[in-house]
């Protein structure tokens, strides 16, 4: 009996030992499997983090690349627009500088030739006057010829800066056109026949008579021109005086010696006696006034275009700043929309993935990085709520 009890107890102990050994082995297997599962879980977490960083870097590079491309394209476009604006202004300035240099060169040439032209014209006038003795009509025609030569030598252009005014089908006054539509009148019909008589005089009495006749002829012509100035219908833009051109300068000098009050007499009647020398200087000044007027017009045009360019440049800068402002707003709106997709409880990305998990038919899948970020955001919110 005792033996049976002993064997029975030993069997129980042996069975317990065997059962313990089996359970210990199973526990060891379960521990190993648990360690492997934890290791695999850690590896998956590391993998997901690497994928997240890669996607984040790729997305950032893509967005930065797009922004850089757009910015560079805008810079190139704006640079081209600025070039198109500045090139015409640069050409106008270059053309203006060239005109100024040409004008200066022409002015120097005119100054150097002024004295020679005046001497030559006076000499020719005196010679021809001697050849035309006794013919007042021919002397008048010669005065007009000398006047035309002086006008042509001055640089003024016929039909543009001066023109002839005909009276009764005959050439009358010469009209000098000034800037701003102003006019200057020149007469060349004064008689110098008495000067030829003075040169041919053989006695002091004859010379004195010729001198008196010359002065009287000048005074009579001054009176005639004064009446023309007062009664002839000239437009309101004409100057308030008439130039009386004397083609033979020594004749005028002789008249002044004989009658020192002659110039004052003419001045009181708004008539100014001039010779080839003084007329050439006057016309040269007028030609320079025209050149300065044209230069001023060019400068005003450049200033006007420069002002328009500056206004356009200000508008361009304003538009560029507005583009930058809208780019910032677009970037902010994009970030806000993206955050709404992946943040907050029940965000759209997680809800869409839940639908896909329930078997919704779909041929495309979301970016894993976005799914991971959405899950992380939801888990963070849940932890805060707990």
Res. 170: pLDDT tops 60 = no
Q: From 359, 353, 358, select the one nearest 371 (Cα to Cα).
A: 353
Contact 190, 218 (CB under 8 A): yes
Rounded distance between C-alpha atoms, residue 204 and residue 198, angstroms: 10
Strand segments, DSSP code E, in the chain are 162-167, 170-178, 182-187, 238-245, 271-274
Q: Which residue has the higher pLDDT, 34 or 260?
A: 260
Mean pLDDT score of the chain: 72
Rounded mean pLDDT of 288-311? 76
pLDDT at 275 over 50: yes
The more confident residue out of 8 and 98 is 98
pLDDT bracket for residue 57 (50, 70, 90): low
What per-residue string of b and e applies to 283-316 under the rule 16 or more CB within 10 Å gives b?
Answer: bbebbeebbeeeeeebeeeeeeeeeeeeeeeeee
Does residue 208 register a pLDDT over 80? yes
pLDDT value at residue 162: 79
**What is the average pLDDT across 242-264?**
91
Checking if the pLDDT of 74 tops 80, the result is: no
**307 pLDDT exceeds 50?**
yes
Q: What is the mean pLDDT of residues 291-297?
A: 78
Q: How far apart are CA 198 and CA 208, in angstroms?
A: 8
- Residue 54's pLDDT band (cuts 50, 70, 90): low
In the three-class reduction of DSSP (H, G, I as helix; E, B as strand; rest coil), residue 240 is classed as strand
What sign has the CA pseudo-torsion 343, 349, 355, 358?
negative
DSSP symbol at 208: H
Question: Please, what is the Cα angle at 149 between 144 and 154, to 5 degrees?
Answer: 125
pLDDT in tens, 211-224: 999 999 999 999 99
Distance between CA 133 and CA 206 in Å, rounded? 16
Higher pLDDT, 383 or 179: 179
pLDDT of residue 96: 64
- At residue 233 the predicted structure's pLDDT band, cuts being 50, 70 and 90, is very low
Task: Name which of 292, 290, 324 is nearest 70 in CA terms.
Answer: 324
Lowest mean pLDDT among 231-245, 269-283, 306-320, 324-338: 231-245
pLDDT at 41 over 80: no
The DSSP letter of residue 367 is -
Output 264 or 143, whichever has higher pLDDT: 264
Q: Which two tokens stand for residue 60?
A: 């950032």
Give Dmax over CA atoms of the chain in angstroms.
203
Contact by Cβ (8 Å): 242, 185: yes
Over 90: is that where the pLDDT of 377 sits?
Answer: no
State mean pLDDT over 320-325. 78
Per-residue pLDDT, 169? 46
Residue 114 in this model has a pLDDT that exceeds 90: no
Among 36-50, 55-69, 151-165, 245-259, whose mean pLDDT is lowest? 55-69
Tell me the angle at which helices 193-200 and 249-258 cross, rounded to the nearest 10 degrees: 80
pLDDT value at residue 184: 82
- Residue 256, pLDDT > 80, answer yes
Mean pLDDT score, 337-343 = 68
Could you give the CA distance from residue 107 to residue 102 in angstroms, rounded to a whole number? Answer: 9
pLDDT digits (tens, 9 = 90+) for 125-134: 555 555 445 4
What's the angle, vertex CA 106, arms to CA 102 and CA 111, rounded to 5?
150
Position 37 pLDDT exceeds 80:
no
Task: For residues 358-385, give the mean pLDDT.
Answer: 69
Q: Residue 316: which pLDDT band, with cuts at 50, 70 and 90?
A: confident
Residue 211 is predicted with a pLDDT of 92
**Quick one: average pLDDT of 115-121?**
60
Provide the token pair at 118: 């005046």
Q: How far is CA 357 from the centre of its chain?
A: 66
Which residue carries 């012509």 as its tokens? 221
Give percent of the chain above pLDDT 70.
55
Contacts of 226 (CB under 8 A, 6+ apart): 242, 269, 270, 271
């Amino acid at each position: 009996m005792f033996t049976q009890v002993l064997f029975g107890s030993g069997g129980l102990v042996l069975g317990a030992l065997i059962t313990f050994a089996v359970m210990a082995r199973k526990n060891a297997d379960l521990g190993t499997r648990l360690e492997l599962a934890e290791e695999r879980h850690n590896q998956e977490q590391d993998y997901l983090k690497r994928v997240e960083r890669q996607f984040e870097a790729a997305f950032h590079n893509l967005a930065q690349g797009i922004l850089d491309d757009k910015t560079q394209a805008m810079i190139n476009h704006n640079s081209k627009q600025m070039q198109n604006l500045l090139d015409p202004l640069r050409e106008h300035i270059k053309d203006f500088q060239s005109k100024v240099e040409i004008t200066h060169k022409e002015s120097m040439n005119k100054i150097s030739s002024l004295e020679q032209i005046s001497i030559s014209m006076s000499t020719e006038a005196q010679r021809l006057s001697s050849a035309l003795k006794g013919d007042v009509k021919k002397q008048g025609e010669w005065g007009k010829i000398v006047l035309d030569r002086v006008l042509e030598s001055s640089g003024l252009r016929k039909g543009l800066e001066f023109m002839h005014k005909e009276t009764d089908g005959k050439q009358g006054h010469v009209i000098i056109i000034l800037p701003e539509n102003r006019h200057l009148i020149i007469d060349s019909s004064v008689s110098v026949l008495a000067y030829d008589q003075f040169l041919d005089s053989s006695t002091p009495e004859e010379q004195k008579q010729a001198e008196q006749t010359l002065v009287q002829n000048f005074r009579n012509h001054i009176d005639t021109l004064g009446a023309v100035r007062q009664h002839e219908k000239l437009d309101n833009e004409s100057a308030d005086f008439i130039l009386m051109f004397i083609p033979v300068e020594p004749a005028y000098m002789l008249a002044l010696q004989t009658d020192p009050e002659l110039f004052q007499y003419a001045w009181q009647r708004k008539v100014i006696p001039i010779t080839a020398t003084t007329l050439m200087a006057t016309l040269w000044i007028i030609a320079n006034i025209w050149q300065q007027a044209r230069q001023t017009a060019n400068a005003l045009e450049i200033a006007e275009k420069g002002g328009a360019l500056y206004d356009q440049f200000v508008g361009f800068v304003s538009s560029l700043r507005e583009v930058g402002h809208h780019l910032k707003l677009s970037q902010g709106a994009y970030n806000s929309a993206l955050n709404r997709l992946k943040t907050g409880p029940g965000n759209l990305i997680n809800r869409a993935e839940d639908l896909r998990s329930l078997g919704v038919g779909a041929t495309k899948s979301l970016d894993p990085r976005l799914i991971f970020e959405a899950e992380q955001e939801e888990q963070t919110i849940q932890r805060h709520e707990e």
